[in-house]
């Protein structure tokens, strides 16, 4: 009497399931728009669904950052000239299968790189944005993903689709936002200088 063969199945992988579940998420923060309660930068995390981008709570946002994932990373500076023209200076790169928590110093280096390409007095805010992907990376020759939550006039510099611009756009320029960032930048540079000096002395 022949025995029936049992179908072999791959063992369930929580890590693989998690990787797929959070395969189209993004998280970002702006230095010049701190929390009014704590004064710290606010990290916003979202996941893309059939109904558009949905906000994630702080627990899921932290979970998103804790595990290795495929990341698109961008550091960006919002700029405005004295005649009101706006643009964005940025630096983007890919980071496949990596925990973003392990590249803490990368932001400092990229931030300096972006600011070196721009007059500081024309910057009115700066921050970073990260987006995940799974499988084959989506073709995006204009790198539009890192324009998310930037002002309409900045996005309008790369695309003309008004509906898409409205979906992507975030808060625009204000004197308060610029003053907040300029103050943040002074404190950031002082703290960063102190950290480097203490590191060299250790």
- 6 domain-assigned: no
Token duo for residue 132: 């995940």
Can you tell me the distance from the alpha carbon of 155 to that of 160, in angstroms, rounded to the nearest whole number? 8
Task: Kindly state whether residue 77 falls inside one of the protein's structural domains.
Answer: yes
Question: Considering the domain boundaries, does residue 8 fall inside one?
Answer: no
Rounded to whole angstroms, how far apart are CA atoms 186 and 106?
20
- The tens-digit pLDDT sequence of the chain (202 residues) is 445 555 555 555 676 677 677 888 999 999 999 988 888 888 899 998 888 889 988 777 778 878 888 899 999 999 999 999 999 999 998 888 888 777 767 888 899 999 998 899 999 999 999 999 887 777 887 889 999 999 999 999 999 999 999 999 999 999 999 999 999 999 999 999 998 898 888 7
Does residue 123 form part of some domain?
A: yes
Domain housing 47: 17-201
Q: H or E element: which one contains 74? A: strand 69-80
Task: List the beta strands (DSSP E) in 81-151.
Answer: 86-98, 123-133
Structure token digits, residue 78 = 């919002």
Q: Tell me phi and psi for residue 192, to 5 degrees.
A: -65, -40
Please tell me the pTM assigned to this model: 0.86
Q: Are 53 and 47 in contact (CB under 8 A)?
A: yes
Specify if 11 maps to a domain: no
Q: Give the HSE-up count for residue 4: Cα atoms under 13 Å, Cβ half-sphere.
A: 2
**Strands ordered across the beta sheet of 123-133:** 52-55, 44-49, 25-30, 123-133, 69-80, 86-98
In a domain, 114, yes or no: yes
Are the C-beta atoms of 159 and 165 separated by less than 8 Å?
yes
Measured in degrees and rounded to the nearest 5, phi and psi for residue 119 equal -70, 125
Here the tokens at position 7 are 């179908």
Rg, C-alpha atoms of the chain: 20
Residue 164, in any domain of the structure: yes
Residue 7 lies in a domain: no
Split into its structural domains, the chain has a count of: 1
């Amino acid at each position: 009497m022949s025995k029936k063969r049992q179908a072999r199945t791959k063992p369930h992988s929580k890590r693989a399931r998690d990787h797929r579940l959070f395969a189209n998420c993004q998280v970002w923060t702006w230095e010049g728009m701190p929390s009014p309660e704590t004064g710290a930068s606010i990290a916003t995390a979202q996941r893309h669904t059939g109904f558009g981008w949905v906000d994630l709570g702080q627990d899921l946002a932290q979970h998103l950052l804790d595990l290795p994932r495929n990341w698109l990373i961008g550091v960006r500076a919002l700029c405005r000239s004295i005649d009101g023209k706006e643009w964005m200076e940025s630096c983007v790169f890919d980071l496949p299968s990596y925990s973003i928590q392990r590249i803490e110093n990368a932001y400092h280096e990229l931030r300096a790189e972006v600011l070196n390409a721009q007059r500081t007095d024309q910057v009115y805010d700066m921050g970073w944005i990260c987006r995940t992907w799974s499988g084959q990376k989506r073709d995006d020759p204009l790198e539009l993903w890192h324009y998310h939550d930037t002002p309409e006039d900045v996005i309008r510099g790369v695309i003309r689709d008004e509906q898409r611009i409205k979906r992507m756009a975030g808060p625009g320029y204000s004197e308060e936002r610029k003053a907040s960032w300029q103050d943040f930048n002074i404190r950031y540079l002082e703290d960063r200088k102190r950290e480097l000096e203490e590191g060299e002395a250790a």
